[in-house]
DNA sequence: GTCTATAAAGCGATAGAC
DNA sequence: GTCTATCGCTTTATAGAC
C-alpha cells in the first residue's frame, strides 16, 4: 500500500516527528520516541535539526499548508454561491478527515507559543493572496442585495462553517464516548454524514424565503 | 475584588494546579510551577496529593461538573422548544466564556489517557440522569410532528450547537489572529455577539416555512 | 552521515529536621 | 503541616570514534 520509495534520513525523521508531535503534543513528545519511530538513533536527530524546538517548528511549517490554503481557494472561484458553500465545506471536512489531528495540533501550538508560529500561518494565507472573510464578504453582499439570502455577518458565517466542520473531529474523544459509547464505527459514519448535513444546515439557515 | 477568605493549603494547591494544568496541559505542567503559584514548596504537593497523576485527576474531577451538567439541565425543562434552544446555547456560551480553557483541557485529557477520565464524565451525566441527545430527541419528534420544524437528526443538531458555541473559544488563538490580528477586544465583542447569533442561526435553519 | 557513550539539565518524588 | 536538601530517573543535547 505504502509506496516503496526510499526516504532520505531527513524525511524519515520529519515524518516520525510529525506523528509523535501531533499525537502527544510538543511537551509530551520525546526525542527518543521520534528517533525510534524513524529507525535511527537520537544523535542523528540533532545532527539534522539541532534541537527539539527547531524540529517542532519544521513539523509545524509542513502541516500548515496541508490544513489551510488548499480548501480556501474555492472561495475565489466564480461559481454559484450555494455551490461554493457546499464545495468549501465538503473540501474542508475531507481535509480534516484525512488529518484529524492537525486542527488541535495547530491550536495547541498557537496557544502556548510565541508569535512566530502565528506569523507562519498568516504568511501562508498572504502568500496565496487569500483572505477568507473578505472572500466570502463579496459574495455575501451580492447575494443579500439580490434577495437570495438573509443579512448575515460574514465573520459569523465563516466561523459557523469552520466550527461545524472541524469541531466534531477535535472533540471526538469526548463526543464519541457520550453519544456512541464503545461504537467507534458509528462515529465514523456520523462524521461522513456531516459532508451532507453541514452544507444543508448552513444553506437552510441563510436562504431567503 | 477577590474575597479575602483564607484558603486551606489543599485548596491553594488545587487552584494553582488547575491554572497550570489548564494552560500548559498535563505533560507541559511542572510540579514546581504549581508549588510556586500556590506559594508553597514542592514537597507539600506530594504530601497532599502523592503524585502528579493524582493531582491531575483531582483537577479533572473538579472541572467536569463546572463545564457540563449545569447547562444541560435546561433541556429537561418544560418550556417552548425555541426558547429552550435559545437558553441552552446562551447558557453554554456563558459557561465557556467563564472558563475558556476547560473544553480543550477536557479534550486533551481524554485524548491521551485511559478510560478512567471518560468514565468520570459519563458518571457525572448519569448521576444527574441527563442524556443530552435523548432529551432533545423527544422535543424534536414533537416539533417535527407538529410541523413547526424540519426533519433533523438530533445528534447532528446537538453537535452543531456545541460546535458553534465552543469552537470559537477553543480556536481563539487561531481565528483571532487571522480575522482580527492584534485586535483582541474585537474578538471579545465577536464572542459576546454569538450569544445572539448562534440561537438565531440554528432556529433559522430548522424552523419550517 | 551514523553510531555509542556520556554530559548536563530538568523533573517527579522522598527523607528527615522542625 | 511545612520546610530544606537531595535522590534517582528521564530527557535533551554533545563528544568523539568510525
| pLDDT band, very low/low/confident/very high, at A1 (cuts 50, 70, 90) | low
Separation in Å: D3 C1' and B125 CA: 42
Question: Residues B110-118: contacts with CB within 8 Å, 24+ apart?
Answer: B110/A173, B110/A174, B110/A177, B111/A104, B111/A173, B112/A24, B112/A28, B112/B26, B113/B26, B116/B57, B117/B57, B117/B60, B118/A173, B118/A177
- Contact list in B for residue A20 (CB cut-off 8 A) is none
Cα(B13)–Cα(B38) distance, integer angstroms:
5
Note which residues in 54-113 of chain A have CB less than 8 A from chain B: 103-104, 106-108, 110-112
User: Does residue B130 come out as left (phi exceeding 0), alpha (psi in the -120 to 50 range) or beta?
Assistant: beta
Q: What is the pLDDT of residues A38-65, one digit of tens each?
A: 999 999 999 999 999 999 999 999 999 9
DSSP string over B58-110: HHHHHHHHHHTHHHHGGGGS-S-HHHHHHHHHHHHHHHHHH-TTHHHHHHHHH
Residue B31 touches partner A, C-beta closer than 8 Å? no
- Is the alpha carbon torsion for B54, B60, B63, B65 positive or negative? negative
Domains (ranges, CATH) in chain B? 1-62 (1.10.10.60), 68-206 (1.10.357.10)
Q: Which residues pair with B149 in a beta bridge?
A: B207
| pLDDT band, very low/low/confident/very high, at A4 (cuts 50, 70, 90) | low
pLDDT tens-digit profile, chain B (209 residues)? 545 578 999 999 999 999 999 999 999 999 999 999 999 999 999 999 999 999 999 999 999 999 998 889 999 999 999 999 999 999 999 999 999 999 999 999 999 877 899 999 999 988 988 888 888 999 999 999 999 999 999 999 999 999 999 999 999 999 999 899 999 999 999 999 999 999 999 999 999 97
- Contact list in A for residue B110 (CB cut-off 8 A) is 173-174, 177
Q: What is the pLDDT of residues A166-191, one digit of tens each?
A: 999 999 999 999 899 999 999 999 99
Across the interface, of B122, B167, B193, the residue whose CB is closest to A167 is: B167
For chain A, what percent of residues have pLDDT higher than 70?
98
Q: What is the pLDDT of residues B44-102, one digit of tens each?
A: 999 999 999 999 999 999 999 999 988 899 999 999 999 999 999 999 999 999 999 99
Query: Averaged over A9-22, what is the pLDDT?
Result: 98
A156/B197 Cβ within 8 A = yes
Place of cell 483541557: B105
Amino acid at each position: 500500500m505504502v509506496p516503496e520509495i526510499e526516504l532520505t534520513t531527513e524525511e524519515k525523521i520529519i515524518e516520525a516527528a510529525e506523528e509523535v508531535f501531533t499525537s502527544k503534543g510538543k511537551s509530551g513528545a520525546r526525542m527518543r520516541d521520534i528517533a525510534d519511530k524513524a529507525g535511527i538513533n537520537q544523535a542523528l536527530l540533532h545532527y539534522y535539526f539541532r534541537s527539539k524546538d527547531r524540529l517542532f517548528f519544521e513539523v509545524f511549517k509542513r502541516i500548515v499548508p496541508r490544513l489551510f490554503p488548499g480548501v480556501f481557494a474555492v472561495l475565489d472561484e466564480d461559481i454559484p454561491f450555494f455551490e461554493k458553500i457546499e464545495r468549501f465545506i465538503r473540501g474542508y471536512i475531507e481535509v480534516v478527515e484525512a488529518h484529524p489531528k492537525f486542527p488541535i495540533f495547530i491550536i495547541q501550538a498557537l496557544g502556548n507559543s510565541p508569535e512566530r508560529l502565528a506569523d507562519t500561518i498568516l504568511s501562508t494565507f498572504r502568500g496565496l493572496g487569500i483572505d477568507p472573510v473578505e472572500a466570502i464578504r463579496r459574495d455575501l453582499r451580492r447575494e443579500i442585495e439580490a434577495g437570495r439570502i438573509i443579512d448575515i455577518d460574514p465573520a459569523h458565517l465563516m466561523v459557523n462553517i469552520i466550527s461545524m466542520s472541524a469541531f466534531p473531529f477535535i472533540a471526538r474523544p469526548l463526543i464519541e464516548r457520550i453519544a456512541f459509547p464503545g461504537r467507534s464505527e458509528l462515529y465514523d459514519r456520523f462524521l461522513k454524514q456531516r459532508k451532507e448535513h453541514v452544507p444543508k444546515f448552513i444553506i437552510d439557515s441563510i436562504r431567503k424565503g
